[in-house]
Structure 1
Amino acid sequence: MIAGTACPQAAKPFLLACMTVGLWPAAAEAAGLADQLQGLATESGFAIEGLERLSDEPARRAEGSVKDRLQTLLQGYNYVLAESRPGNIERLVITGIARSGGRPPPSSTIPTLRVGAHHQVEALLVGPNGVPQTVSVLVDTGASTVVLPTSMITSLGFDAATLSAGVSQTASGRVHTKTGVLPSVTVGPASAENVAVSFIADKRLNGAMLLGMSFLNRFRVTIDDEHNEIVLLAK
């Protein structure tokens, strides 16, 4: 609690909004940005991942709603914000320092189709042959790359012999992969260039294709479960 301010116990979820402008807790000044974000997550009841991706920097002054504070605290970083409904944050994933390569307009709101607990969107993929292909992909913050079936290697213009072979750990076990780079990926009005892609045997994917972090980490992402949409913003 900040000296000189008071918030009723019943308004505890809104404690941060009760902070008086101009007052700044001494503890926050002494702590780093990572500690400040962890404290905000604990106070507001949402899960946070990726604190290790922050640079070593001091806490920042932030005011307003929890979402406003996060936008201020994470200036210069890309992140994924999952909301069960607007303003009800459930999960924050810090994906890294904002970098070039994402080109959406100021705000790209993209409707999704719910497939169980997942959000599905249409993505336009361009491979080395320059031929666009539209596919349905599941938004998956747990996937490090875009994930496609090996049957698409040739149709996208890749030479299978030049792709890098590897092994990936999935929920169903370790799988062999071939990795490359897609010249561009577009979802709604948002696009990114040089996006890492992993190809996995069709039978292991069971028809699913994934929009992973090699695309998502180019943006600040909000996943809205209530309205079935994702919002992509770029620095």
Structure 2
Amino acid sequence: MKPVIRWISIASSCLVWGLPFAMEEPAPVSRVAVTAELERLMSEHGFEVRGIEQTADALARVEGETLSARLQALLENFDYVLVQTPTGGIERVIILGEKVAYLPPPIVVENEAGGNPANDSVESGAPPGEIVLSTQRKGDSHLLTLILEGPNNRRIEQVLLIDTGADQVVLPASLVVSLGLEAGALREQQVQTANGTIQARVGVLPALWLGETRIPEVSAAFIEDQRLGGQALLGMNVLGRFRMTIDDANSQVTLASK
């Protein structure tokens, strides 16, 4: 005969008088070395991590039922990009660096005379035909703060990672509504990035602003935020129009007309 398991519950209304009531201490949150845990997960699930050296000495929580959730907890103090397989698995994790407080430059609205929106990261005194922009550093990568222009002159400030391996601008899908784009106007397409080929919805932005320079009709690929890790990319459909020089020492990028 199979054993019968009986569950016995004790009513919560039963109290023992005369005994002091003590609150249980909450269980301590488990924390592990990020590098060691990433290496364990890589071995177990077969994905690749780039920039793992930046997690040296870092500790993080261990929680989550899925691999994505565990990685999110482990890397909560880092900026990173998750690249997923077509079936939803994790193919690659790219760690850009530790999160730092970011103070965006003020957005300058177009003036009555029809001037261009300014960006205070533009350096004055640049030679004619050159655009000089300040960058933020994330490990070996450079980030630019630019203005995206949607229909009806709607403008959004966005931080984009300079990615010469991306064939076009890549943006989080959450920006489709914010920019005022019609979802029906976007087409399904595979796009190439430095991290591989990714399925995306592609449309055209009325413009993208590099400081005071307006680049009209810019193709942009929108990818689900979770797959992109929230990090927008500035690809070669914009960068390829210029001769680009990156000054690591001064955290600047110079874009010169070809």
Q: What's the TM-score once normalised by structure 1's chain length?
A: 0.52
Q: Which amino acid aligns with 1:215?
A: V
Q: Does residue 160 of structure 2 align to residue 137 of structure 1? A: yes
Match of 1:94 in 2: none
Q: Does residue 147 of structure 2 align to residue 147 of structure 1? A: no
Aligned to 1:144, the other structure's residue is in SS state coil
Q: Which amino acid aligns with 1:222?
A: T
C-alpha displacement of 1:185: 0.7
Choose between structure 1 and 2: higher helix proportion.
1
Structure 2 residue runs without a partner (length 5+): 1-126
Distance 1:117 1:199 in 2: 25
Match of 1:110 in 2: 133
Asked if 1 retains the 8 angstrom alpha-carbon contact of 2:166 and 2:194, the reply is: no
* Max Rg structure: 2
C-alpha displacement of 1:191: 2.7
Alignment partner of 1:187 out of 206, 210, 213: 210
Q: Which amino acid aligns with 1:158?
A: L
Aligned to 2:241, the other structure's residue is in SS state coil
Deviation digits for residues 59-87 of structure 1, max 9, x if unmatched?
Answer: xxxxxxxxxxxxxxxxxxxxxxxxxxxxx
Identity within the alignment, %: 42
Deviation digits for residues 41-99 of structure 1, max 9, x if unmatched?
Answer: xxxxxxxxxxxxxxxxxxxxxxxxxxxxxxxxxxxxxxxxxxxxxxxxxxxxxxxxxxx
Aligned to 1:143, the other structure's residue is in SS state coil
C-alpha displacement of 1:173: 5.2
Distance 1:105 1:135 in 2: 26
C-alpha displacement of 1:226: 2.2
C-alpha displacement of 1:123: 0.6
Superposition pairs for residues 214-233 of structure 1, below 5 Å? 214-233=237-256
Asked if 1 retains the 8 angstrom alpha-carbon contact of 2:165 and 2:194, the reply is: no
C-alpha displacement of 1:105: 4.3
Match of 2:235 in 1: 212
Q: Structure with the greater relative contact order (CA < 8 A, sep ≥ 6): 1 or 2? A: 1
Q: 1:197 and 1:210, CA in 2 relative to 1: closer, same or farther beyond 3 A? A: same
Match of 1:87 in 2: none
Aligned to 1:214, the other structure's residue is in SS state helix
Structure 1 residue runs without a partner (length 5+): 1-103
Deviation digits for residues 87-124 of structure 1, max 9, x if unmatched?
Answer: xxxxxxxxxxxxxxxxx942221111101111111110
Aligned to 1:129, the other structure's residue is in SS state helix
Match of 1:168 in 2: 191
Aligned to 1:154, the other structure's residue is in SS state helix
Q: 1:225 and 1:234, CA in 2 relative to 1: closer, same or farther beyond 3 A? A: same
RMSD: 1.9
Q: 1:191 and 1:219, CA in 2 relative to 1: closer, same or farther beyond 3 A? A: farther
Distance 1:191 1:228 in 2: 22
Distance 1:170 1:122 in 2: 20
Alignment partner of 2:144 out of 116, 121, 125: 121
Deviation digits for residues 146-181 of structure 1, max 9, x if unmatched?
Answer: 110111111112111221111234465543201111
Q: 1:129 and 1:176, CA in 2 relative to 1: closer, same or farther beyond 3 A? A: farther
Q: How many residue pairs get matched? A: 132
Distance 1:113 1:234 in 2: 23
Q: What's the TM-score once normalised by structure 2's chain length?
A: 0.48
Q: 1:180 and 1:224, CA in 2 relative to 1: closer, same or farther beyond 3 A? A: same
* Stretches of 4+ aligned residues off by more than 4 angstroms: 169-174
